[in-house]
Amino acid sequence: MQSFGLTLFSNSMPKLAFAKLKGSQAVFKKLLAMCFLACMVSAAHAQLRVDISGAGAQQYPVAIADFSDDPAGRMIAEVIRADLTRSGQFRLINTTGAALTVDSPIAYDEWRNRGADFLAYGTVSLTGDRYEIKYRLADTINKTALDGVVFTGSDRELRRIAHQIADRIYEKITGVRGVFATRIAYVLKQGNTFELQISDADGQNPQVALRSREPIISPAWSPDGSKLAYVSFESGKPVVYVHELSTSKRVPVANFKGNNSAPSWSPDGQTLAVVLTRDGLSQIYTLNASDGSNLKRITKSPIIDTEPVFSPDGQSLFFTSDRSGNPQIYQVGVNGGETKRISFNGPYNITPRLSQDGKNLLVVTKRDGSFRIASIDLATGIETLLTDGPDDQSPSFAPNGKQVIYASRQGGRQVLSGVSSDGRMRQTLSTFNGEIREPTWGPFSQ
């Protein structure tokens, strides 16, 4: 639930009219209580279910042979197949009966006759407690080897290695860097406990970074992936923390009078944009990400300005404001000044999120009573509706800009969903009894 206007606007309460958020601090507290009471839905850890629908505009036919006829070799191939399938850009060719090793001669014509333009295969061997994984990728059309590399790791590292191989296959074939080995963060509500979790990009291998009896909202990755900023209510009010993942050390960087919320990192990782009510209504400020010093107010308006996000060059901020009478997306320089309106389609657009190249902007938009995810081409203003609703929230681009994750409500609970950036391929990754909210996609691994 990306906070907006408690900031005050969270994805748990998008149906509240924006104008109602302009009341006193007492009203703010009442709305906050309503928001979190509505979120008290029991959840439980369970194995993820993945549902996929649709296909990309172009699909590359690829065969992924088992790396060996044992659980490790089959698991590696299965993870690679699942990664490529979720992207929507590949069509898997049946490899039944294939028995390949890295030393096998490749029958290019035979694989072409099966329909495969590309063939990935490999070998897994175990020495002591260390696995050696040899991988190869062949182009069956040009009858050439495209890629080959050797990985080593423990049994706990096999999934990560499989994701790395899938990334190599994706990049060699499409020319775009793969994101399967990246991570995502999200908040899981389980009973009376909130957990900030980090998992692989496919939602597997979840790890708990923070567990609290009080709400955790608005997680945001640092550019190098080493830290998360988030808002915790553990002290009885919203406070912005920066959390170092390798050590679990965390620092409260925004703990001012009133509400502190909606952290967003600058591209160099040195500065955070935050939303504070220390001077009245929600306004946007910047401060040092390390210790909260050098506080600087960016917006100075008599209405709510919230949900800031830095442009890729670090020179401006996109944010949500109701200065036109309805919540819309605006842009302002990091030194303040005149604002520029960005969104014009529909009466309600919130939660701006930029692609890494700065060319496209994700928003949550309201259409015919449904909250949907839209992508706006910033050069042309052309909008593409990516989801159907009815309650889709918290969009986040993959670091290569080709996929989007978001929170959607299905069967009365929030689940983790994904869609390709053209809207053609959709997927749902959910626990059977879980309540997942506010997903955010981490950066490329360093």
Arithmetic mean of pLDDT, 356-385: 96
Residue 228 has pLDDT above 70, yes or no: yes
> Does domain 59-174 bear CATH number 3.40.50.10070?
yes
Per-residue pLDDT tens digits for 390-438: 999 999 999 999 999 999 988 788 899 999 998 888 888 766 566 899 9
Q: Which of 389, 444, 393 is nearest to 181 (CA)?
A: 444
DSSP 156: G
Strands (E), 342-431: 349-354, 360-367, 370-377, 383-385, 392-397, 403-410, 413-420, 426-431
The answer to whether the CB of 238 falls within 8 A of the CB of 249 is no
Residue 31 has pLDDT above 70, yes or no: no
Confidence band for 21, pLDDT divided at 50, 70 and 90: very low
The structure tokens listed for 364 are 């949550």
The answer to whether the CB of 358 falls within 8 A of the CB of 347 is no
Q: Which of 310, 249, 254, 247 is nearest to 277 (CA)?
A: 254
Q: Which of 15-29, 88-102, 123-137, 415-429 has the highest mean pLDDT?
A: 123-137
Residue 215 has pLDDT above 90, yes or no: yes
Dihedral (CA of 264, 270, 276, 280) sign: negative
Query: Please, is 62 exposed, middle or buried when counting C-beta atoms within 10 Å of its C-beta (0-12, 13-18, 19+)?
Result: buried
Q: Choose the weakest-confidence range: 177-186, 282-291, 359-368, 407-416.
A: 407-416
Per-residue pLDDT tens digits for 35-82: 332 332 223 333 455 565 655 557 899 999 999 888 999 999 999 999
DSSP 5: B
pLDDT recorded at residue 112: 96
For tokens 């605006």, the residue is 330
Torsions phi, psi of 407, nearest 5?
Answer: -100, 130
Percent of the chain with pLDDT over 70: 86
Strands (E), 222-335: 227-232, 239-244, 250-254, 260-265, 271-276, 283-288, 296-297, 305-310, 316-321, 328-333
Which whole-number Å values give the CA distances from 207 to 188, 195, 211, 247, in the listed order?
11, 10, 11, 14
pLDDT recorded at residue 413: 83
pLDDT recorded at residue 57: 59
Residue 336 has pLDDT above 90, yes or no: no
Residue 390 gets the label, from left (phi > 0), alpha (psi -120 to 50) or beta, of alpha
The answer to whether the CB of 38 falls within 8 A of the CB of 14 is no
pLDDT recorded at residue 429: 76
Q: Which of 304, 296, 301 is nearest to 272 (CA)?
A: 296
Per-residue pLDDT tens digits for 127-175: 999 999 999 999 999 999 999 999 999 999 999 999 999 999 999 999 9
Which distant-in-sequence residues (6+ apart) come within 8 Å of 11 by Cβ?
1, 2, 4, 351, 364, 393, 394, 407, 437, 438
Per-residue pLDDT tens digits for 316-327: 999 999 998 999
If one compares 47 and 295, the residue with the highest pLDDT of the two is: 295
pLDDT recorded at residue 424: 86
- Name the CATH code of domain 18-49+182-441 (choices 2.60.260.20, 2.120.10.30, 3.40.50.970, 1.10.150.530): 2.120.10.30
Strands 60-64 and 118-127: parallel
Q: Choose the weakest-confidence range: 2-6, 222-226, 308-312.
A: 2-6
What's the CA dihedral at 193, 197, 203, 207 to 10 degrees? -110
- What are the residue ranges spanned by the domains of the chain? 18-49+182-441, 59-174
pLDDT recorded at residue 430: 66
CA–CA separation, 336 and 144 (whole Å): 55
